[in-house]
Amino acid sequence: MTQSGVRENETRRGVRGEPGPGEAESETETETSDDEGGSAKDTGPDTRAGEQHPGAGGDGGEGGDVRSAAGSPRRPRRLLKWSAAVLALLILGTAGAGYLYYRHLNGNIKKDPLNLGDHKVAAPTPNAAGQTPLNILLIGSDARDTEENQKLGGARETFGGTPLADVQMLLHLSADRTNMSVISMPRDTLVKIPKCTDPDDGKVYPATQGRRMTNQSLGHGGPGCTVATWQELTGIHIDHFVMVDFAGVVSMADAVGGVPVCVDANIHSRTSDGKGSGLKLEKGTSYVQGEQALQWLRTRYGFDDGSDLARAKAQHMYMNAMVRQLRDNATLSSPNKLRRLAEEATRALTVDTGLDTVKKLYDLSDELRKVEPKRITMTTMPNRYVGARVEPTDDAEQLFRLVREDIALDGKDKSKKQTTEKAADPAAADDEIPVQVRNGTRTDTLAAARGRASEVTGLLTEKGFAQAVADSTGSWSEDSTVVRYPSADLEGDAQRVAEALGIPLGSVKRSTDVSGVTLVVGADWREGTAYRAPKQNDKTPKSAEALNGADDKACMHVNPAFTW
């Protein structure tokens, strides 16, 4: 398929912030829409998220702005998973198209700042060989900012509207380049979006007071705000982002000649009222490309329980298959095919300035190519339902910790010393570090251990932390003892407090829920003056539904209601 209507290089994304005719404010917590359904499980009329309206007052709370099918023409739902195309580009490397097209291809690539937030996460400490991990956020934008994107995405009334980050996957490449991990975050995950500043017009989007769907972060200034949101939630330092649009998926799928996918029964993704991607396949393995590949990646109705989680599973299968296809398909040795792949891929991309040339992308692809498919692990962020949305669970934090500490999700790491994150600033003197101590020993079955905040405050004071104070103004519950800090300039202080008490650095976490260094004494330290850290489990949680990159037998389960 020939891509048309490609944006000029200086055009980064569509017009944001203006309401469409008939749009009204709502006090609901979150909202979104897509071709296949607007939430993990449908509970009401179609809605669309992320558009600011007059009188909305910015973020201002848990509410958002909704356009209801009851109050205006129904918007077709839409969702797209572009990340396979991005991963394909990175694995293959665009430099194969030849230096002749170097300047032209560089001109195709759109650029944007990496992080629009105020808070930064320090890079991990290099290993003994001087290597550091690489973390790349893959983003799929649903922008309707070109004729091609509009045709593929539908919803004509949204042309030029606020885009949503409906695909978010973190790709982690280990420091020793032996393994790769991918974590998908469902686009309707409830998170707090941090303060972000639009690099184009300087508009400041204040931090949300309540939780919003993570896909709205893209409308708060661009992909750099999605990066900031991820770092805020996970504590993982992100080195780069790569964002792709609708047209990029179709053109990339055509360029590689199709990707093998499997279903365990005939499927037709179409409901009686016209919802669904339209995907129609026979039982077994089929090669999909072009718009059919797009249908596979956006299908929700027909896979498993019809949730966004099932769709993520299908995307992982597609990505794994595309990686294997690119590595094994000899036809891609053709210069013309490689040139076409490079042309289509670079037109589809928006990247940070650290990846803004073909040379930089090729260097990155060289690093990624070192990993064999059998050492690639695809996962979905462990979550639980909150109404029709989802939120991270404790297993999600376990998954994030493994990535932070560069532990392979496939469990095949050789014994190695875990890396720790270096402090952004050195710690102040102990007697100059204000520390607030909270009693978080309450559990579902046990009342809080009386006086623990005061006891541990006394312990800190004995160790020289003269500004430690007990906080008795609230009631907290924390399974494990943790030290929290609000900003990078206090990271060193927080680590120093943890070190003094024997608390592992993995339990030092940045959080906007605190205003200073805050020690929460958890249920694992209900008595005594010596903290004994629980033995950490370095296994990938089962709830992450890990899929190995070499698994070519995986097949999507078809809901019987969608067979033919």
* Helix or strand (DSSP H, E) at 68: none
What would the pLDDT profile of 474-517 be if each residue is shown by its tens digit? 888 888 899 999 888 899 999 999 999 999 987 898 887 899 99
Residues 6+ apart with CB under 8 A from 261: 281, 285, 286, 287, 288, 296, 314, 317, 318, 321, 556
The pLDDT of residue 309: 84
Split at pLDDT 50, 70, 90, the class of 10 is very low
3-state DSSP assignment of residue 492: helix
Query: What is the separation, in whole angstroms, between the first and last Cα of the chain?
Result: 29
**What's the gap between Cα 27 and its chain centre?**
26
> 292 or 73: whose pLDDT is higher?
292
Dist CA 383 CA 400 (whole Å): 13
Specify whether the CB–CB gap between 496 and 432 falls below 8 A: no
Dist CA 99 CA 105 (whole Å): 9
Retrieve residue 399's tokens: 């998954």
In the chain, pLDDT over 90 holds for what percent of residues?
47
Instruction: Please name which of 185, 211, 202 lies closest in space to residue 29, comparing C-alpha atoms.
Output: 211
Residues 6+ apart with CB under 8 A from 232: 117, 119, 191, 192, 194, 510, 512
Which DSSP symbol is given to 500?
H
In the chain, pLDDT over 70 holds for what percent of residues?
73
Specify whether the CB–CB gap between 226 and 218 falls below 8 A: yes
Instruction: Please name which of 75, 114, 124, 148 lies closest in space to residue 240, comparing C-alpha atoms.
Output: 114
Q: How far is CA 540 from CA 170, 173, 318, 376, 397, in A?
A: 16, 16, 22, 13, 11
What would the pLDDT profile of 33-67 be if each residue is shown by its tens digit? 444 544 444 443 333 333 333 333 333 333 333 33
Specify whether the CB–CB gap between 349 and 106 falls below 8 A: no
Retrieve residue 350's tokens: 């928006």
Instruction: Please name which of 228, 170, 168 lies closest in space to residue 198, comparing C-alpha atoms.
Output: 228
Split at pLDDT 50, 70, 90, the class of 123 is confident
Dist CA 516 CA 509 (whole Å): 12
Worst-scoring range by mean pLDDT, 236-240, 254-258, 433-437? 254-258
CB atoms within 10 A of CB 279: 28
Dist CA 561 CA 564 (whole Å): 9
Angle ∠(281,330,328) on CA atoms, nearest 5: 65
Give this prediction's pTM: 0.69
The pLDDT of residue 136: 97
Split at pLDDT 50, 70, 90, the class of 245 is confident
Mean pLDDT score across all residues of the chain: 79
**Going by DSSP bridges, is the β-strand pair 204-205/196-197 parallel, antiparallel, or unpaired?**
antiparallel
- Residue in the block written with tokens 């839409």: 78
Worst-scoring range by mean pLDDT, 74-78, 213-217, 300-304? 74-78
**What's the gap between Cα 415 and its chain centre?**
29
Helix ranges, 447-522 (H): 452-462, 491-501
**What's the gap between Cα 324 and its chain centre?**
23
Helix ranges, 437-560 (H): 452-462, 491-501
Is the confidence at residue 523, as pLDDT, over 60?
Answer: yes
Q: List, in sequence order, every residue forming a beta bridge with 350; answer none if it has no partner.
A: 110, 243
Dist CA 296 CA 293 (whole Å): 5
Q: Is the dihedral of CA 354, 358, 363, 369 positive or negative?
A: positive
Split at pLDDT 50, 70, 90, the class of 421 is very low
Dist CA 219 CA 426 (whole Å): 35
Retrieve residue 23's tokens: 């749009």
The pLDDT of residue 444: 79
Angle ∠(279,284,286) on CA atoms, nearest 5: 55
> 247 or 231: whose pLDDT is higher?
231
What letter represents residue 316's amino acid? H
What would the pLDDT profile of 171-204 be if each residue is shown by its tens digit? 999 999 999 999 999 888 999 999 999 999 999 9
Specify whether the CB–CB gap between 244 and 85 falls below 8 A: yes
The pLDDT of residue 115: 95
The pLDDT of residue 295: 87
**What's the gap between Cα 145 and its chain centre?**
23
